[in-house]
Amino acid sequence: MTDKSKKFLVPGISAAFMVVIVILAQLDILNNYYQTILMTICINVIMSASLNVVNGYMGEFSCGHGGFMAVGAYVSSMLSLILFCPGNSITGKALLPPESAIFLFPLVIIIGGLASMVVSLLVAIPSFKTRDDYLAIITIAMNFIITTSLNNIKVAGESRGLMGMKSALSRMSDVIDLPWILIWGMIFAAFAILAIHRLMTSTLGKGISAVRYDEISAEIMSVNTNKMKLIAFTFSSGLAGIAGGLFAHMLGFINPASFGIMKSTESLVMVYLGGMGSLSGSVLSAFIFTIMLELLRPAQILKWVIIPLMLILIMQFRPEGIMGQRELPDVFPKLKKLFSVNPDLVRHSAGEGKGGRS
Amino acid sequence: MSDTPFLEVKHLTQRFGGLQALTDINVDLKKGEIAGLIGPNGAGKTTVFNLVSGFYVPTEGDIFFKGKRISGLKPHVIASMQIGRTFQNIRLWSDMTVLDNICISQQYRLCYGVLAPFFHTKKYKAEEKKIHDEAWALLEKFNLADKALDYPRNLPYGVQRRVEIARALSLNPDLLMLDEPAAGLSTSDLAELISYIRWIHEKFGVTIWMIEHQMEVIMTLCDTIQVVNFGKEIARGTPEEIQKNPEVIKAYLGNGEID
């Protein structure tokens, strides 16, 4: 297989996989229940992979990821209510013809992500001077600020929250009958993974990891650590906002209580379960965690004893998480054949001093 | 150009709370020389380095590099003005490959925007290629190319030192500050280190300023030496002058006081 064709292999397989799922959903082989689980997996993938940028790659400890999710969820829900839902609780009529949701829905979700990015400056700017435990406290405080504000904002429905976003999706299904939320969930999850992968393998993004290993030497070696923190926090929160938007539209109902510390803890658990600084680890752990939660549903309240217990056991016997810092191709070298080789990582000048320094 | 001094430190005073770490330190480096900064433990040598590399903002005094005032600038800005340094205790990013270590420290030359990595733009690809090419070329020069994909933590101490110097040189510096390059090396390795520093000085045309406790290294390599003790300069001159200076001998051998 040539390098050129390898380039399209992994995206091709992923796209084919998505198409199969959509067809299965269309044929009702995957019923609503399984679709919801798949959708939750997609959201959790985005949440854990994006939190990994801050907690794993950059080595800071952010425990307010749920807050950023809330911002995305609320902004995109309100937008979607105002734009596409006649008879909504905010303006009472739709600004645009509801059918236009079919084109504008992804845009609405992305705007929610952008709003979270702006709010994340609340954490990113203190992070220039503060770190470790102190920054963790700031992130918790921020999570509380967001949920408490939402509890008191009238247009956001106060503690009752918002509902009715789902009608935008049913309008979309009226135009073309497809499981839209599932489709967009998978697309956004795939793009989140791709974006994190691309950022973290670029020289710019590797600066974020340099901050984790030694912030002082990073700064001395021309890495603008403040810029790195800004990129990591805004990027990670932006993705959380997107996950929030999808979450809101999947459930059709949100209230501030669903984005509290519990939600943030869930994301933290997934990151530590998968392995800090391992993208494939956090994707894998999002799958495992979501499915585990579903399987333990019959255990009801007991599952919140079983899951923390598992976490204790993992931390005791495998503190680095499932994948540690490795990625899937490091564990299964055969997978490497699927990916094209990055020419920059191969020694190509045999003679001494070729290329030279300017 | 020859009129503007290369590195000029004027009346540098540094206080940490009640502790007077440095008092009125003056430095004048000429382009192309190898200069030494010596003194007993705790004399404030590393503090001088930390001030020049922007790690602290001086309490009083100014630092000029190639005629530009650099005191008060952020360390990464100073680094991109082509001042490279190493650390007393090796501070590599030990869990990233040697190649990554060399590439990341070339961030000063990145001009692509924040969004470029997501879209793999032409500019992005060209710049990444350039950075990696430079990194490989540098590693070839240092005979480290076969270690490029290893993690520094798995490398022997001497090799880590070389990687750290290579990383400092990836900043394409005009001034290279070495903080105790011989620390942790056995005496039999010193001759090798001396020829090695000389090789760097010639090959890369950098001005070298180093802190060192091994007198053999300092006396053989340096054109000028400055001695500090208790944060004050006590002597300055050529190696021969320094060796004869009674103040220096007193500082090193003591005068009945405890150092």
B126-154 pLDDT per residue, tens: 999 999 999 999 999 999 989 888 899 99
Of the partner residues A214, A219, A353, the one whose CB lies closest to the CB of residue B137: A353
Res B214: pLDDT: 87
Q: List, in order, residues 6 or more apart from A153 with CB less than 8 Å away.
A: none
Tell me, yes or no, if A39 comes closer than 8 A to chain B by beta carbon: no
- Is there a contact between B225 and B233 (Cβ–Cβ < 8 Å)? no
CB pairs under 8 A between A and B: 123
Question: B51: helix, coil or strand?
Answer: helix
| Of B234, B248, B238, B230, nearest in space to B41 by CA | B230
Residue B11 phi/psi, 5-degree rounding, is: 45, 50
The answer to whether B82 touches B172, Cβ cutoff 8 Å, is yes
Instruction: Give CA A20 to chain center in angstroms.
Output: 23
- CB-based contacts of B104: which residues, under 8 Å, 6+ apart? A203, A206, A207, A210, A218, A221, A223, B93, B96
What backbone torsions phi and psi does residue A37 show, to the nearest 5 degrees?
A: -65, -45
Question: Which chain B residue shows the shortest CA-CA distance from A195?
Answer: B118
Strand partners of residue B20: B15
CB-based contact (8 Å) between B94 and chain A?
yes
Give domain limits for chain A: 14-261
ipTM of this predicted structure: 0.87
B63 has which bridge partners? B9
CA atoms of B132 and B147, how far apart (whole Å):
15
Whether A202 and A196 have beta carbons less than 8 Å apart is answered as no
Residue B9 C-alpha, separation from nearest chain A C-alpha, in angstroms: 19
In whole angstroms, give the CA distance from residue B117 to residue B133: 18
Partners of B200 on chain A (C-beta within 8 Å) are: none
CB–CB contact B55 A348 (8 Å): no
Please answer whether residues B207 and B6 qualify as being in contact, where contact means their C-beta atoms are separated by less than 8 angstroms.
yes
Angle (nearest 5°) at CA B213 between B207 and B214: 90
Tell me which chain A residues have a C-beta less than 8 angstroms from the C-beta of B167: 221
Q: Which of A283, A346, A334 is nearest to A45 (CA)?
A: A283
Nearest CB neighbour to B118, from listed A199, A216, A345:
A199
- Give residue-wise pLDDT tens across range A102-119: 888 999 999 999 999 999
Residues 313-342 of A with CB under 8 A from B: 325
* Rounded distance between C-alpha atoms, residue A34 and residue A23, angstroms: 14
Nearest to A220 among B75, B134, B141 (CB): B75
> Looking at chain B from residue 74 to 93, which residues have their Cβ under 8 Å from any Cβ of chain A?
74-76, 79-80, 85, 87, 91-93
Yes or no, beta carbons of B131 and A203 under 8 Å apart? yes
The ranges of chain B with pLDDT < 70 are 1-3, 254-259
Q: Report the pLDDT value the prediction gives residue A353, as an integer from 0 to 100.
A: 39
Across the interface, do A357 and B134 touch by the CB < 8 Å criterion? yes
Contact B93 A209 (CB under 8 A): yes
3-state SS string over B36-49?
EEECCCCCCHHHHH
Q: Answer yes or no: do B129 and A221 touch at CB < 8 A.
A: no
Regarding the domain with residue range B90-172, which homologous superfamily does it belong to in the CATH classification? P-loop containing nucleotide triphosphate hydrolases (3.40.50.300)
Query: What is the value of pTM for the model shown?
Result: 0.89
- The answer to whether the CB of A199 falls within 8 A of the CB of A205 is yes
Amino acid identity of residue B236, one-letter, is R
What fold is seen in the domain A14-261? Answer: ABC transporter involved in vitamin B12 uptake, BtuC (1.10.3470)
Q: Where are the domains of chain B?
A: 90-172
The pLDDT assigned to B243 comes to 87
pLDDT in tens, chain A (358 residues): 566 677 788 888 888 988 998 888 888 888 888 899 999 999 999 999 999 999 989 988 888 899 999 999 999 999 998 888 787 777 777 788 877 888 889 999 999 999 999 999 988 888 888 778 898 999 999 999 999 999 998 888 888 888 888 888 888 888 888 888 899 999 999 999 999 999 999 999 999 999 998 889 999 999 999 999 999 999 999 999 999 999 999 998 999 988 988 889 889 888 988 888 889 999 999 999 999 888 888 887 887 788 788 778 888 888 888 887 778 777 777 777 777 667 777 765 544 333 333 3
Mutation for testing the A interface, residue in B81, B97, B107 having most A CBs under 10 Å = B107
Indicate which of A191, A194, A203, A327 best probes the interface with B, i.e. most B CBs within 10 Å of its own CB: A203
**Cα B97–Cα B98–Cα B99 angle in degrees, nearest 5:** 90
